[in-house]
Structure 1
Amino acid sequence: MTELERHSYDVLVIGAGGAGLRAAIAAHESGARTAVVCKSLLGKAHTVMAEGGIAAAMGNVWQDDNWKVHFRDTMRGGKMLNNWRMAQLHAQEAPARVWELEEWGALFDRTKDGLISQRDFGGHRYARLAHVGDRTGLEMIRTLQQRVVALGIDVYMECTITRLLTDGTGEEAHGARRGNIAGAFGYWRETGRFIAFEAPSVVLATGGIGKSFKVTSNSWEYSGDGHALAARAGATLLNMEFIQFHPTGMVWPPSVRGILVTESVRGDGGILKNKDGKRFMFDYIPDFFKADTADNEAEADRWYEDKKNNRRPPELLPRDEVARAINAEVKAGRGSPAGGAYLDIASRRSPEYIRKRLPSMYHQFKELADVDITKEPMEVGPTCHYIMGGVEVEPDTAAATVPGLYAAGEVAGGMHGSNRLGGNSLSDLIVFGKRAGDAAAEYAKSHTARIADDQLDVAAKEAVAPFEREGGENPYALHQELQNTMNTLVGIIRDADEMSAALEKLQELKARAKNLSVEGNRQFNPGWHLAIDLRNMLLCSEMVAKAALERKESRGGHTRNDYPKTDPEWGTKNIILSEKDGVVALVHKPLPVMPDDLKELFEEPK
């Protein structure tokens, strides 16, 4: 029997970002004994990097805004591949969740009338992002963290979960039997000691997969842990091909390449130019958005000045459109010296305005790139930012296909379709974080955790395997090869030959990963941590490449060079992925049908 530390709870939340903390609060307030586990320190989750704001149709700036307009914007931004029910719940409940944050002490910027200020963002018809300068995610985490601490919820920091545990009532897989969720197995990062949590309900709130890519805005924690944990426990995932490449990440200097440049820069008046000084976004307005988007510079400038019309500047098109436009300019030889484009706000706004509205961006460029954004433009380019695909969940409860398992936030799929609108991520976290916590607590009332002991031995043996090999593969070298493969062959523009080559390379890397070896002991050993994370990144990468090869069209964050158009047939189905004994399988599944009353929102007025 493996020696380990054991704890028992009703609800275990894995991840301490916005979704995880909101789920924990909801579960606790429903009467469940609740704990949160996170890889880093409380308050360090990647949510703090979300700068622009929380999308919620509160109507504080535009009285015409309402949940139906927000719902329509979200569906259109996702190219209609969203789960309509998730998009509906999100649009309806986001305002209440924002006001809740305000009640708990969040210090939002204000309108002249004292209401929560709301700013413009790409793809949103109205200004609807509640914000705190360009540090909104940080304020959200501060508020939720303070609430968690005040409620006395247990938090296990610097603790990595390596396997979900089941009660052993299901089918055989990975040396143990699948079944209902019974808890999780992990280790303390500092000491390497093992820890097990018994819990009939587990909420995954682990974020994304960005560390599989060479150029990414994501933090070190984003190694696809939740996606892989769910798949290995028997849950299905959907539409993993949809990766959002945020159009504006830093491209210079190389040491900070990929760090996010918030969309707020464009929302507050910034424009994109190529090396010739041309404002090129007017050349890339798709027919789908021409009715809402200014098609000349004078009209766009009037919008920035008075905002009395609904025609928006092309810099505020959805992120996938802007990213492809920048990529096209670079490929045509019109990019900036560092391989991006110029984002200029200095010529549009006063230094005082920039420093007040964009304090983080001002300091980020001043400290990291020696660029004063009040005087000169920034060099920016696409960076891997967000995965729209994820764990398949039931919309109202956030329940996965394994009993007792729930997922919220970026790890869950369906809400954003094929492309996420900026600002929808933070509202997604708190809307579905609460729903997941409520449902997990309710499930726990009628279920108990029964861990199959053989799983603990299997999990422990699996975790320490790299120490038992000598002269094997170096995890750092393998990770570098994985990142180069994904960035080069499964990046922003894809084709069949490259993705087939990527899948061959991934199979090779999977085989080599079975021979990973690390030196030293289990006390805070970064090489060991990476070796464990690599299993998750390799599985997620294979799912992304396999689904991307299967979807023979271009839609949202998925662009095929060999299938450049959107195919209506593909707009009616999802790609569902599963894993068993190391083999990834996929099937097609019809998209849930939207009710007629919601379909009417997309009909053109007669």
Structure 2
Amino acid sequence: MSPVSSVERQRWDVVVVGAGGAGLRAAIEARRAGARTAVICKSLFGKAHTVMAEGGIAASMANANEHDDWKTHFRDTMRGGKFLNQWRMAELHAQEAPERVWELETWGALFDRTPDGRISQRNFGGHEYPRLAHVGDRTGLELLRTLQQKVVGLQQEDHRETGDHEARLKVFQEFTVTRVLKDGSGNVAGVFCYERESGRFLVLEAPAVVLATGGIGKSFKVTSNSWEYTGDGQALALLAGAPLVNMEFVQFHPTGMVWPPSVKGILVTESVRGDGGVLRNSEGRRFMFDYVPDVFKEKYAESEEEGDRWYEDPENNRRPPELLPRDEVARAINAEVKAGRGSPHGGVFLDVSTRMPAETIKRRLPSMYHQFKELADVDITAEAMEVGPTCHYVMGGVAVESETTATVGVPGLFAAGEVAGGMHGSNRLGGNSLSDLLVFGRRAGLHAARYAAGAATAEVGEEAVAAARAEALAPFDGSSEGGGENPYTLHQELQQTMNDLVGIIRREGEMAEALERIAALRERARRIAVEGHRQFNPGWHLALDLRNMLLVSECVARAALERTESRGGHTREDRPAMERSWRPVNLLCRAGDGGITLERVRTEPIRADLLALFDKEELAKYLAEEELDA
């Protein structure tokens, strides 16, 4: 029997790659639509990075302020993204988010409540009204737990109906996908994956595949992301022929811990600032009042007294500048550090202890309190935290259609959640990630199931399987020749390169140097050597992940060098202003034999009734002339 013929094959209607919030929501919807659905989980089921989204789910339910509605949420999202958002995605997101939250509640999610029993909503940066439905500071964990239980419930339902004869929803734990497979016509036909523990190979044949793998943070040295975030979905899409859009927009969350070392990079949820936490420099001054952009002057306070009043009367006073969008806060912190007014370890101080009593902090921010007390002996009820920007989220991603989440140019391939681009424009508002994955996770599962129902039976050829198998085993070939490259060394060098040269503040010469280093690292990666066998081999896993990280890192650096302006999460020190000519331009990255290529594509003009939600002065600042005339 040949090695290829011994690779196990299974047939499904829909394969979902990723078991975080977007993946599980997609799987639930695909299964409810009648599709036999397989979910591939890189880690253990229920351990996805979604649990780290702590602050809440943004949805205009108007429980905390009766004036909130989807149009205001849409407007806030577009403002935060500096009008580069895929506007139809932002519209659908704002309209459907409340229903997705209420749906979670019917499935068993236990949200914090208002005094009259409604779902409680808290303040977050960039949102005009308190809009984040929350479960203390463990919202992501509750969301994932609820979706996990829903999946288990559907599996039990299948078992009651069919016994052990047919699984209509199955989770493959600790498997990694290395290739999206296609048939002779260029349509999706399934995926090639391996079991991380045993190393055995598996082909799941299916006419529809949903990518829901999350972000790219492990390409950077300082990140809030977990080990799974190695750009898998982005690279799988590129290699399958789909483009990535606007990969230059990487969000550096303003408040990651910078000290002690035991918690470096760990996120301090934005709800700390939403509940009254203040940022101070080494001089003890609340510096954010110095960094309010002109476009936000009307909505943000100019003095501490005015900002403090907002917590007592949020309807009638301007909010404190600590609640500006994340890109503005991150740049302000970076500026203070560069000016020599940072904390001893290269950040600033975030203090919530002066605003809230200790017992209130423990009740409203239980994870923050226990995590930093246990891991770093930092008591946030009595002392300030040292925080600074940390690589957190990528706004760019796989280019998708707004309504269906179908990828551009690859029939049968869908993407949802952080792996997909477009929804957040150049900068994401806090809380929009969880509502994004619920809204578009559902849409991805639904449309993938509909596509699969009308598609021909997926057929994966032997040649495609053989090529995927050989690619996966290539790192073992280098060990027999001697002198091969160590994957851990290459990973460290890549992380240092991205951190130093394509970080929060970017310069033309440094990004050009980064591209040269990445090219050299890719060449060295061809000589990666791992020892041992496929069982329990983390070096092999990293060697395969490096292919993805190198591809995606080149996309980030190349697009960041190309976009000669500063917008949202992309800050060019040598090009500090937003340029109107760049506003309607998307950058598409494609992978070819010659490496990554870039293409400029104009965005679709925003619909007239949505433009009417903004005043003329604001539109004039952000939009291109032809859209204003329209």
Residue of structure 2 in register with 1:408 after alignment: 416
Q: CA deviation at 1:411?
A: 0.3
Structure 1 counterpart of 2:264, from 243, 257, 263: 257
The reply on whether 1:499 has 2:511 as its aligned counterpart is yes
The reply on whether 1:187 has 2:194 as its aligned counterpart is yes
Question: Could you say what secondary structure the match of 1:108 adopts?
Answer: coil
TM superposition score normalised by structure 2: 0.94
Runs of 4+ in 1 over 2 A off after TM superposition: none
Quick one: distance in 1 between partners of 2:333 and 2:74? 28
Quick one: distance in 2 between partners of 1:16 and 1:310? 42
Cα distance per residue 1:559-599 (max 9 Å; x no partner): 00000000011001100110012610111000111111000
Question: Could you say what secondary structure the match of 2:612 adopts?
Answer: helix
Residue of structure 1 in register with 2:116 after alignment: 113
User: Which residue type is aligned with residue 297 of structure 1?
Assistant: E
Question: Could you say what secondary structure the match of 2:54 adopts?
Answer: coil
Quick one: distance in 2 between partners of 1:556 and 1:60? 29
Residue of structure 2 in register with 1:454 after alignment: 463
Question: Could you say what secondary structure the match of 2:435 adopts?
Answer: helix
Write the mapping of 1:90-105 to structure 2, written as runs, cut at 5 A. Answer: 90-105=93-108
Q: CA deviation at 1:465?
A: 0.8
Quick one: distance in 2 between partners of 1:362 and 1:577? 42
Q: Is the contact made by 2:263 and 2:372 (CA closer than 8 Å) also made in structure 1?
A: no
User: Which residue type is aligned with residue 197 of structure 2?
Assistant: E
User: Which residue type is aligned with residue 418 of structure 2?
Assistant: E
The reply on whether 1:464 has 2:473 as its aligned counterpart is yes
Cα distance per residue 1:29-48 (max 9 Å; x no partner): 00000010010001000000
Structure 2 counterpart of 1:314, from 279, 301, 321: 321
Residue of structure 2 in register with 1:424 after alignment: 432
Question: Could you say what secondary structure the match of 1:244 adopts?
Answer: strand
User: Which residue type is aligned with residue 544 of structure 1?
Assistant: V
Question: Could you say what secondary structure the match of 2:401 adopts?
Answer: coil
Deviates further, 307-316 or 202-211: 307-316
Quick one: distance in 1 between partners of 2:617 and 2:8? 63
Residue of structure 2 in register with 1:489 after alignment: 501
Write the mapping of 1:39-438 to structure 2, written as runs, cut at 5 A. Answer: 39-152=42-155, 153-169=169-185, 179-401=186-408, 402-438=410-446
Question: Could you say what secondary structure the match of 2:454 adopts?
Answer: coil
Structure 2 counterpart of 1:571, from 577, 583, 608: 583
Cα distance per residue 1:516-549 (max 9 Å; x no partner): 0001110010000000000000000000000000
Quick one: distance in 2 between partners of 1:603 and 1:104? 40
Quick one: distance in 1 between partners of 2:172 and 2:594? 30
Q: CA deviation at 1:367?
A: 1.2
Quick one: distance in 1 between partners of 2:260 and 2:64? 38
Quick one: distance in 2 between partners of 1:599 and 1:557? 23
Residue of structure 2 in register with 1:535 after alignment: 547
Quick one: distance in 1 between partners of 2:75 and 2:325? 13
User: Which residue type is aligned with residue 177 of structure 2?
Assistant: I
The reply on whether 1:19 has 2:22 as its aligned counterpart is yes
The reply on whether 1:592 has 2:604 as its aligned counterpart is yes
Quick one: distance in 2 between partners of 1:295 and 1:409? 36
Quick one: distance in 2 between partners of 1:23 and 1:418? 25
Q: Is the contact made by 2:476 and 2:531 (CA closer than 8 Å) also made in structure 1?
A: yes
Identity %: 69
Deviates further, 451-460 or 508-517: 451-460
Quick one: distance in 1 between partners of 2:317 and 2:34? 46
Quick one: distance in 2 between partners of 1:210 and 1:200? 30
Cα distance per residue 1:188-215 (max 9 Å; x no partner): 0000010100000000000000000000
Question: Could you say what secondary structure the match of 1:309 adopts?
Answer: coil
Residue of structure 1 in register with 2:623 after alignment: none
Q: CA deviation at 1:453?
A: 1.7
Q: CA deviation at 1:604?
A: 5.3
User: Which residue type is aligned with residue 291 of structure 2?
Assistant: Y
Residue of structure 2 in register with 1:176 after alignment: none
Quick one: distance in 2 between partners of 1:205 and 1:311? 38
Q: CA deviation at 1:325?
A: 0.5
Quick one: distance in 2 between partners of 1:326 and 1:410? 25
Residue of structure 2 in register with 1:173 after alignment: none
Quick one: distance in 1 between partners of 2:439 and 2:317? 28
The reply on whether 1:544 has 2:556 as its aligned counterpart is yes
User: Which residue type is aligned with residue 59 of structure 2?
Assistant: A
Cα distance per residue 1:101-153 (max 9 Å; x no partner): 00000000000010000000000000000000000000000000000111012
Quick one: distance in 2 between partners of 1:553 and 1:601? 26
Residue of structure 2 in register with 1:524 after alignment: 536
Cα distance per residue 1:448-507 (max 9 Å; x no partner): 211122011001111111111123000000000000000000000001000000000000
User: Which residue type is aligned with residue 120 of structure 2?
Assistant: S
User: Which residue type is aligned with residue 93 of structure 1?
Assistant: E
Q: CA deviation at 1:308?
A: 2.9
Q: CA deviation at 1:310?
A: 5.0
Cα distance per residue 1:167-192 (max 9 Å; x no partner): 022xxxxxxxxx11000001000000
Q: Is the contact made by 1:274 and 1:334 (CA closer than 8 Å) also made in structure 2?
A: yes
Cα distance per residue 1:87-112 (max 9 Å; x no partner): 00000000000000000000000000
Question: Could you say what secondary structure the match of 1:85 adopts?
Answer: helix
TM superposition score normalised by structure 1: 0.98
Q: Is the contact made by 1:12 and 1:183 (CA closer than 8 Å) also made in structure 2?
A: yes
Quick one: distance in 2 between partners of 1:577 and 1:340? 34
Q: Is the contact made by 2:306 and 2:317 (CA closer than 8 Å) also made in structure 1?
A: no
Q: Is the contact made by 1:239 and 1:576 (CA closer than 8 Å) also made in structure 2?
A: yes
User: Which residue type is aligned with residue 164 of structure 1?
Assistant: V
Question: Could you say what secondary structure the match of 1:107 adopts?
Answer: coil
Q: Is the contact made by 1:543 and 1:584 (CA closer than 8 Å) also made in structure 2?
A: yes
Quick one: distance in 2 between partners of 1:241 and 1:52? 25
User: Which residue type is aligned with residue 447 of structure 2?
Assistant: A
Quick one: distance in 1 between partners of 2:250 and 2:140? 21
Deviates further, 246-255 or 121-130: 246-255
Aligned length: 597
| Unaligned segments of structure 2, at least 5 residues | 156-168, 619-630
Residue of structure 1 in register with 2:163 after alignment: none
Question: Could you say what secondary structure the match of 1:395 adopts?
Answer: coil
Question: Could you say what secondary structure the match of 1:272 adopts?
Answer: strand
Question: Could you say what secondary structure the match of 1:461 adopts?
Answer: helix
Q: Is the contact made by 1:125 and 1:310 (CA closer than 8 Å) also made in structure 2?
A: no
